Amino acid sequence: MRTRTFTALVEPADEGGYVVKCVEVPVATQGETKREALRNLKDAVEGYLEIRAEILGRSLSRKEIVEIAVRQAPSPILA
C-alpha cells in the first residue's frame, strides 16, 4: 500500500466547528475542532479511495492504465 498526500481546505463553519474539503477528490466533511475535522476527512478520503478502487477493479479487466504528467502554473493553494 502506498501513501499519498492530499490537500485540505479548512474553513470555520457558520454554526461552529470546521468544514474541510479535499482539493484532489470530491470529499468534504466537518468536525467540532480542526483536528477532528481533519481526522474525519482522512477517514472519508480513505473510504472514497477504497470504493473507487473496487469500482475501477471491476471495470479494468480489458483496459490499460497509463500515468500522465501535467505541467501546471504555480498555485497558492497547491504550493
69 part of a folded domain: no
Domain count, the chain: 1
Query: In the numeric block, which cell numbers belong to residue 11?
Result: 474553513
Higher pLDDT, 53 or 74: 53
Residue 70 in any domain: the answer is no
Q: Domain of 17?
A: 8-59
Q: Is residue 16 part of a domain?
A: yes
Positive or negative, the Cα torsion across 48, 73, 3, 31? Answer: negative
Residue 77 lies in a domain: no
pLDDT band of 2, cuts 50, 70, 90? confident
pLDDT at 5 over 70: yes
Answer whether residue 12 is part of any domain. yes
The verdict on residue 37 lying in a domain is yes
pTM > 0.85: yes or no: no
Q: Residue 55's pLDDT is what?
A: 81
